[in-house]
Structures are given as C-alpha cells and as structure tokens.
Structure 1
Amino acid sequence: MSDSTRQNRSNAWQTALTTLQEVSPPFIPAGAHAMTVVVEYPPGDPGAPPHRHSGPAFGYVLEGEMRFELEGEPERVVRAGEVFWEPGGDVIHYQDGNNRDDGPVRFTVTMLCEPGKPMLTVVDDEELAQRADRRAPRPEGRS
C-alpha cells in the first residue's frame, strides 16, 4: 500500500462501532444457517400469529414501535433504535405486531435456523391452551 493511500484513509472505523446488544443464547442448532430478514407491518397490524423459531433470533427496530411478547415474559414495546432477541427452540413468541395505528413498524431480524426446519412455525390453539399457564399476565383488555 502506498503512503498516499495510507494518508487518505479515515480513522473513523476506530470509533464507528456501537454495541447494541450482547447476549449468550442458550443454544445454537447444530449446522445452523443464518437468515436476516426485514419485516414491515402496516399501522395497527397484529403481526404474525403465535409462533416459535428453531434457533435464536436477534432484532433491531428500524421504524415505529413493535409490541413484543415471549412466553413467560410480560409484553413490552420495542421502539425504533432498540433491540430485542429471543432464545428460539421451545419458547413461544406471542407478539411482534405494530404498536401504533398511525404508521408502519419495520424491523430486521437475524435468525440462526436449524437446517431443514422452517424459520417460523405457527403454534396451534390446542398447544396455546395447554401452555396458557406459561404466559405472563396480560394488560387489561388484551388477549
């Protein structure tokens, strides 16, 4: 590399990194592959039905507000610029819908998927009923 190339380089890379989240997932499926997606729901959309992922998932809200709820945890709102994650496996992801009725929610999710398994598996009503005791108490007026 020439001296002129070195002189034209920026040092911004040395301070450009901001850690948004750092977690230790409980497991990573053997032979997992990574998948990164962008999800966008229109105003007021409830999002995906209750589901699970075959491996851990890590996300970042790009725009709007997402209503987020995992089995055993209270519902919470994740706003633009905030992160979320879920362990995957047997844990039910109850909500990922748009918390607002005046604009879309957009978020990106990187999932470590078990080979040969779908990225998302919908949980049926029978299983939801069997596991109802694992769901955190719901805010009044919500089901």
Structure 2
Amino acid sequence: MRMRSIIGAACAAIAIATATPSAAQDAGAKVTLQFGQTIPNIPGKSLIAVVVDYAPGGASPAHTHAKSAFIFAYVLSGEIESQVNDGPKKVFRAGESFHEAPGDRHSVSRNASKTNPASLLAVFVVDTDDKELTTSVK
C-alpha cells in the first residue's frame, strides 16, 4: 500500500509540474510555477501557486481555469486590473486580493500601468488530475 501512495504522489507531482497556465504566457505576462503539492488530507486535490509577472501594459487574454479550480489571487507589486464574469472592472493594488470560483471567466487581467511592472500570486486549489489550469477564451 505504501508503494501505491508513493507512485500516486509522484504522478500527481508530474501532473502539477506540467499544469502551468499557458494562456497568460503571451501579451506581456509571464507565469512561473512556485509550488505544487497534493493535499494529503483531501484526496484528489492539489495546491498550486504561480506568480504572474506583467510587463508595463502587459495583459493575459480572457480565460477560464480548470472547472475544479478555486483561486486566491494576491497582488505582490504594482496594480492589476481584473474583471471576473460580468462583474465590474476593478484595480487591485499591492497587498490587495481577490478570488475566482470554479467555472468563473476571467475577462480582464492586465497590468493597470503602462510604465511600471506588476505581479500577482495565484494560488489554486484544484483536482490533481486536471491537466490544463488555464484556457484562453476566444
């Protein structure tokens, strides 16, 4: 039984490591995986943390996340303009946070400044077997 747990954890780690959001990688945004770990007391769930760095004027295209994903986003530096679903556009400054629920559509995600960089930490609670964390919406 112990070997099965080790193999399962190894497979989960590989899935997490390859699940870096791809939709934000263009248009002046760079995504870097910071942490990925299965949650031992919640079978089938993982915690994944990424930092999204936005160049001045940089943006991520409209996107959705894995259907299981609950996301906590914390602005590390600069100012991030965000709009989730049909809610209002809002600018979040360093030290402020917001969240996205499973199934939400992130319509706007961009650096609010044309002259200064900005970054945010996005923490996902997601099904371990979800392969794509982020999918662009056309």
Normalised TM-score (structure 2): 0.63
Does the 8 A contact of 2:44 with 2:129 survive in 1? Answer: no
**Per-residue CA shift, 1:86-127, capped at 9, x if unaligned?**
102x2211121100011101110100122332111222x3xx
Tell me if the contact between 2:73 and 2:99 (Cα under 8 Å) persists in the aligned partners.
Answer: yes
Alignment TM-score, normalising by the size of structure 1: 0.61
Asked if the contact 1:41–1:98 (Cα under 8 Å) also holds between the matched residues in 2, the reply is: yes
Match of residue 41 from structure 1: 54
Give the 4+ runs in structure 1 shifted more than 4 A.
Answer: none
Partner of 1:20: none
Whichever residue aligns with residue 39 of structure 1, its letter is V
CA distance in 1, matches of 2:114, 2:62: 21
2:54 and 2:119 in contact (8 A); partners too: yes
1:54-106 deviations in Å (ceiling 9; x for gaps): 21100110110001100021110011110111102x22111211000111011
Residue 123 (structure 2) pairs with residue 114 (structure 1)? no
* Aligned-partner Cα distance in 2 for 1:72–1:115: 29
Hey, what does 1:32 align to over in structure 2?
A: 45
**Whole-Å separation in 2 of the counterparts to 1:32 and 1:94:** 26
The residue that corresponds to 2:64 in the other structure is 52
CA distance in 1, matches of 2:93, 2:50: 18
Indicate the residue corresponding to 2:87 in structure 1: 73
CA RMSD after TM alignment = 1.7
Give the unaligned 5+ runs of structure 1. 1-28, 126-143
Q: Which residue of 2 aligns with 1:22?
A: none
Q: What is aligned with 1:98? A: 111
Provide the C-alpha distance between the structure 1 equivalents of 2:87 and 2:109, rounded to a whole number of angstroms.
13
Q: Is the 1:32–1:115 contact (alpha carbons within 8 Å) kept by the matching residues of 2?
A: yes
SS in 1 for 2:111: coil
Size of the aligned set, in residue pairs, is: 94
Which structure has the highest strand share of the two?
2
Percent of pairs with identical residues = 31
User: 1:30 offset after TM fit, Å?
Assistant: 7.2
- Asked if the contact 2:84–2:100 (Cα under 8 Å) also holds between the matched residues in 1, the reply is yes
